[in-house]
Amino acid sequence: TPNSTNNSTTSKSTSNTNGGDDDGDENVFIIVSLDKQWFFEAQSNEERDEWVQAIEQQILFSLQNIESSKAARAGKTGGTTIADSASVQAIKHIPGNGFCADCDQLNPTWASLNLGALICMDCASLHRNLGTHLSRVRSLELDEWPPELVQVMRSIGNKLANTIWEVNTKNRVKPQPNASS
């Protein structure tokens, strides 16, 4: 059953009658938007996974429609789509930018403007949770890229960014693309 909250927190009781761990939380999932959170609880792990997969497919479908709409508008005005922009393509081709700066996922399509690095969609969602004062995230394919931001990204790139931001992580293992958050 969905519950909608507006800037409030919802806590779920973790106690049960037999004193053991509450396994019911395994079937819970949350949808988060800019101003609301919806909490859902499925009957089983399988049902939860089916719901999550269906929701993710709809999100991807919506993003693809946005991209198609932008391409259609650009074609009517004689412009180019953001994804086809030579400037954005130049950012992608900087040495080291073919992989996510955080987890090494191939062909990242998001950028952390504050860090000057390209990141994958999964890492971008984690960066969003850090707050814009630490990492301001922008899509290479969906967002506008003014010349000054392109210049920043072309000047830094993943190699330089990681030599700066990972300088004190010598003995730590980097997360891999298949790591869970």
Report which of 130, 138, 34 is spatially closest to residue 91, judged by C-alpha positions. 138
Question: Which pLDDT band holds residue 24 (cuts at 50, 70, 90)?
Answer: low
What's 108's domain CATH number?
A: 1.10.220.150
Judgement on whether residues 110 and 69 belong to the same structural domain of the protein: no
Q: Exposed (0-12), middle (13-18) or buried (19+): which is 149, by Cβ within 10 Å?
A: middle
Residue 172 located in a structural domain? no
Same domain, 105 and 157: yes
Tens digits of per-residue pLDDT, 14-23? 333 344 444 5
Among the listed residues 143, 144, 167, 161, the one whose alpha carbon sits nearest the alpha carbon of residue 94: 161
Domain membership of residue 116 (yes or no) is yes
Give the confidence band of 175 by pLDDT, cuts at 50, 70, 90: confident
Q: How many domains does the chain have?
A: 2
Q: Is the pLDDT of residue 70 over 90?
A: no
Query: Is residue 178 domain-resident?
Result: no
Over the chain, what is the mean pLDDT?
A: 77
The domain in which residue 29 lies consists of 3-12+21-77
Q: Does residue 181 sit within a domain?
A: no
Residues 98, 155, single domain; the answer is yes
Kindly tell me if the per-residue pLDDT of 147 is higher than 90: no
* pLDDT tens digits, 72-109: 555 554 444 444 478 888 899 998 999 999 999 999 99
In a domain, 70, yes or no: yes
Is the residue at 94 inside a domain? yes
What pLDDT, on a 0 to 100 scale, did the predictor assign at position 134?
Answer: 85
What integer pLDDT is reported at residue 3 of this predicted model? 44
